[in-house]
């Protein structure tokens, strides 16, 4: 379920990746605030998580800093997974929205579209409502885990970290690729890194460190950097345009 691209610019997605994103059109994807704040982005308010383009998303959290204006309401949602996410919702003059009567500190559910302006991300709400049954909080987190397991083919815990079972499956997926004949003497970890680097060697600049970290998301940044250094020292991998882009020396 991972998209292949030749480069990874500073804004998080290459133009090639943006053109090949899998879409969640017609779906409302349950998310945590931290996922929305860390989602990759291109220059046109297109956001993605693990290669899936976001359409509408839903979050559940505590309302912070509510303000009611003539044409819109503004507040932030805090689900304790990251900094609060700002929310804006347009209202009509005749609209007597229940949110206008909701006090900060209440739990709310917000559905809308992720936006970015001047580097500040926010949610443009389509619908927002106060949560009366606190079971909805637990239900939302379970929906987040279930939705991401189905879309991304990985198992998550309630904190949205990949589980040991999921990491093991990914290890087997990379180490069990019969099409790749790896050099003798490589550890399983180094072999997994080299296998991914090889898949991008047809690109002039190879694969970026950020993309490698995304592909091999069960590895820590330290372990990945250590593996790359070892592969370079042994002549299997080399840097291209800078120290954060890599290609393999052969197949």
Residues 23, 53, single domain; the answer is yes
Domain boundary among 152, 180, 196: 152
pLDDT tens, residue by residue, 89-126: 988 755 555 555 567 889 999 999 999 988 889 999 99
Residues 141, 19, single domain; the answer is yes
Residues 33, 60, single domain; the answer is yes
Residues 141, 244, single domain; the answer is no
Q: Classify residue 6: in a domain, yes or no.
A: no
Whether 138 shows a pLDDT value over 50: the answer reads yes
Domain around 235 = 164-248
- Bridge partners for 111 per DSSP: 58, 127
Domain boundary among 88, 122, 152: 152
Full strand arrangement of the beta sheet holding 40-41: 22-23, 52-53, 47-49, 40-41
Whether 39 shows a pLDDT value over 90: the answer reads no
Residues 85, 188, single domain; the answer is no
Whether 49 shows a pLDDT value over 70: the answer reads yes
Q: Classify residue 157: in a domain, yes or no.
A: no
Provide the number of structural domains found in the chain.
2
Q: How close are the terminal C-alpha atoms of the chain, in Å?
A: 24
Query: How much is the average pLDDT of 57-80?
Result: 91
Residues 116, 61, single domain; the answer is yes
Considering only the C-alpha atoms of the chain, give the largest distance between any 2 of them, rounded to a whole number of Å: 73
Residues 43, 142, single domain; the answer is yes
Query: Are the CB atoms for 186 and 194 separated by under 8 Å?
Result: yes
Whether 84 shows a pLDDT value over 90: the answer reads yes
Residues 147, 172, single domain; the answer is no
Residues 134, 235, single domain; the answer is no
- Three-state DSSP class for residue 5: coil
Residues 148, 175, single domain; the answer is no
Token couple for 62:
């505590």
Question: Tell me, what CATH number does 101's domain have?
Answer: 2.40.50.140
pLDDT tens, residue by residue, 188-209: 888 889 888 888 877 778 888 9
- Taken in order 209, 210, 211, 216, the sign of the CA dihedral is positive
Residues 173, 146, single domain; the answer is no
Residues 29, 141, single domain; the answer is yes
Question: Tell me, what CATH number does 194's domain have?
Answer: 1.10.10.10
* β-pair type (72-78, 85-90): antiparallel
Q: How many CB atoms lie within 10 A of CB 92?
A: 8
Helical axes 188-199 vs 221-233, angle rounded to 10°: 80
Task: Scan for tokens 């982005």, then name that residue.
Answer: 41
Domain boundary among 152, 182, 214: 152
Whether 12 shows a pLDDT value over 50: the answer reads no
Distance CA 216, CA 66 (A): 40
Whether 157 shows a pLDDT value over 90: the answer reads no
pLDDT tens, residue by residue, 19-32: 444 554 457 889 99
Report pLDDT for 76: 94
Distance CA 90, CA 174 (A): 47
Q: Classify residue 138: in a domain, yes or no.
A: yes
């Amino acid at each position: 379920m991972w998209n292949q691209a030749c480069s990874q610019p500073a804004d998080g997605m290459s133009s090639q990746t943006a053109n090949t994103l899998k879409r969640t059109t017609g779906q409302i994807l349950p998310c945590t605030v931290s996922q929305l704040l860390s989602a990759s982005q291109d220059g046109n308010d297109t956001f993605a998580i693990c290669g899936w383009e976001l359409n509408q998303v839903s979050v559940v959290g505590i309302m912070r800093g509510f303000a009611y204006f003539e044409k819109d309401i503004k507040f932030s949602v805090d689900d304790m997974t990251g900094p609060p996410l700002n929310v804006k919702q347009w209202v009509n003059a005749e609209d007597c929205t229940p949110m206008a009567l909701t006090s900060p500190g209440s739990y709310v559910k917000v559905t809308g579209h992720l936006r970015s302006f001047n580097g500040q991300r926010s949610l443009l709400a389509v619908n927002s409502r106060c949560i009366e049954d606190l079971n909805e909080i637990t239900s939302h987190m379970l929906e987040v885990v279930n939705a991401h397991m189905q879309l991304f083919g990985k198992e998550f815990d309630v904190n949205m970290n990949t589980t040991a079972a999921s990491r093991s499956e990914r290890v087997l997926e990379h180490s069990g690729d019969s099409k790749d004949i790896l050099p003798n003497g490589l550890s399983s970890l180094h072999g997994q890194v080299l296998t991914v680097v090889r898949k991008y060697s047809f690109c002039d600049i190879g694969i970026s460190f950020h993309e490698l970290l995304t592909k091999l998301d069960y590895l820590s940044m330290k372990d990945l950097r250590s593996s790359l250094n070892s592969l370079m020292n042994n002549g299997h991998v080399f840097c291209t345009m800078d120290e954060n882009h890599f290609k393999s020396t052969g197949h």
